[in-house]
Amino acid sequence: MSNVKVEKGVKPYAEAYYKPDMEPGNDYILMAFRITPGPGVDIIEAASAACAESSTGTWTEIDREISERLPSYVYRTDGNMAYVAYHPELVEKGSMSNILSSLAGNIFGMKAVDGIRIEDMRFPEGIIKTFPGPAKGIEGVREMLGVYDRPLTGSTIKPKLGLTAKEHARRCYETLRGGLDTVKDDENLGSQKFNTFDDRVKYTLEMVQKAEAETGEKKGYWCNVTAGDTEEMLRRAALVKEYGGRFVMIDFVVAGFTAVASLRKEIGRMGGLALHGHRAMHAAYDRVPYHGVDYRVISKWARMAGLDHIHVGTGVGKLEGTRTELEERLEILREDNSGVVNNMCFEQPWAGLKPVFPVASGGLHPGHVPVLLDIFGKDSIWAFGGGVHGHPGGSRAGATAVRDAIDGVMKGKTLDQIARQSRELKEAMEIWAEVKF
């Protein structure tokens, strides 16, 4: 039992919330916390304080009967790790916003902790089944584009800001004509004066259809519908559908899960659209190792909320991610049951929710293709920005270099062998060398 001094009139949280002899049932929500206790507080009391604050408790004893009827408790500690179980009726099913407000709402600002990080969450099937999950998933997105035997390709149009709507559309066309499957807006391209949303979606989807007619391949445009309010976001999504688009994109962390839920519901009603999630601002939550939320947890939220593909980092480009971290994220997004990759994670049953396409992006170029295949495998999407548009021959040549590299590597060839037959790849490799991990 915790042995911490407390102020007069304040009950030690551990008296009510530390229950190491109890084993939570499969219907409970489980959370794994990495905790740096505050001054004069031990791990048990700090974990119990977090448990109380995120369930039925407060700083003094009130209505213990309610806590006993809807029990939550710390059932194990191990070093600076604490494991907490929450009664499933404490949260509103089908509402990620309520779940996060309940279980993660105030804990990050408590004096009992100098740092607290959610390393993992395990949702029971009874809660998983109340969320929609992806509308298309990996299989559905492959069917939309007619590509089954290799990773899908994408390109974030660069520069991310400054192009007019027509310039943006032309760059998309050149990229798709070079052989990539999809193009996308970057996270901060909304409806600026120099490139309004309505003009951009109209001109770009005209160019997508032109590229399809000329190549005989299906193409896609991940159009960023994130807006200042939900009503405008849904209007933008409807416009994408009206102009024949296949994808919409949302900055899901900054827009929030209520906005994601509204957009997922709308594309389900309209039919035919897949939902891409850009993770803009995620590192404010997951970058600090002792405080915040690990991206493996954000990946679970994204799958439940209904995103069809999301960014996961690269490990080899400009963005973070160790090999183990990437393996965890890939398993969470793609597997029917996410296994235990290390001793701080839970096994997660997905109860039939479709798998999510992981997207590798951030500083990629053709020299990354072999290592991307090694890390991510075939069921992934690789998005190249500067590594396409920075090619000396322009966007079309950059896209051809990427496509040639992927097609050749899938046949077991090396980049050097492919470059002997591909002028575009040869020129790219003179700028960007092959990268190892």
Model confidence pLDDT, tens digit, residues 55-65: 877 665 656 66
282 is catalytic: no
- Answer whether 122's CB lies under 8 Å from 348's CB: yes
Q: What pLDDT is attached to residue 14? A: 87
pTM for the structure as a whole: 0.94
- Answer whether 234's CB lies under 8 Å from 77's CB: no
Dump pLDDT digits (tens) for 8-53: 434 588 888 999 999 999 999 999 999 999 999 999 999 999 999 9
Q: What pLDDT is attached to residue 5? A: 52
Average pLDDT, the chain: 93
Name all domains of the chain by residue range, CATH numbers in brackets: 13-128 (3.30.70.150), 137-429 (3.20.20.110)
Q: Which long-range contacts (CB under 8 A, 24 or more apart) does 201-206 make?
A: 201/236, 201/239, 201/240, 201/243, 201/245, 202/165, 202/243, 203/165, 203/166, 203/168, 203/169, 204/165, 204/168, 204/169, 204/172, 205/240, 205/243, 205/244, 205/245, 206/169, 206/243
Handedness of CA 419, 424, 426, 430 (dihedral sign): negative
List 19, 136, 158, 365, catalytic entry: 158
Q: What pLDDT is attached to residue 10? A: 41
Q: What pLDDT is attached to residue 63? A: 62
Place of tokens 């740096």: 36
Q: What pLDDT is attached to residue 172? A: 98
365 is catalytic: no
**Residue 435 per-residue DSSP state:** -
Q: What pLDDT is attached to residue 9? A: 38
List 87, 136, 278, 300, catalytic entry: 278
Size (the chain), residues:
437
* Residue ranges of the chain whose pLDDT lies below 50: 6-10
Closest CA to 29 of 117, 90, 77: 90
d(CA 77, CA 107): 17
The three-point CA angle 122-361-428 to 5° equals 155
Q: What pLDDT is attached to residue 7? A: 47
